[in-house]
Amino acid sequence: MDRTDRQNRKIAAYRRGHRGEWLAALALMLKGYRIQARRYKTRLGEIDLIARRGDVVAIVEVKARNSLGEAMDAVSYTAQRRIDAAADLWLARQPNRHKLSIRYDLVAILPRRWPVHVQNIFQG
């Protein structure tokens, strides 16, 4: 595989990721969530989506896979720790943090299906 092929695959994966996150955000908004942040970056890691409904803040990992099982398996222990650390930094910057409840969710982007929202994919 030459350099051009690698670059094209990287660009395609980046676009797939953006499209998946956009679709996940839409699905969550239709469920009554407000999107607080997209691709929230910290020195410890990145959170795909931060969504809020009432006092519940969902820290959302978006995974595009062929099956729900593959998407769930893709959130490794290392990724969980990274997401949790980034969520702690986000929460520390919120003026009403004492009122908020944090939950870690997954939105699986599956072929030819509406996104699947799985709540409490792991505990922080």
The amino acid occupying position 111 is P
pLDDT tens track of the chain, all 124 residues? 678 888 988 898 888 888 999 999 999 999 999 999 999 999 998 999 999 999 999 999 999 999 999 999 999 999 999 999 999 999 999 999 999 999 999 999 999 999 999 999 999 7
Query: Following DSSP, what letter does each residue of 92-106 receive, concatenated?
Result: HT-TTGGG-EEEEEE
Do 48 and 38 meet the contact criterion of CB atoms below 8 Å apart?
yes
Whether domain 3-122 has CATH 3.40.50.300: no
What is the rounded distance in angstroms from the CA atom of residue 62 to the CA atom of residue 48?
A: 6
At 12 the pLDDT is: 85
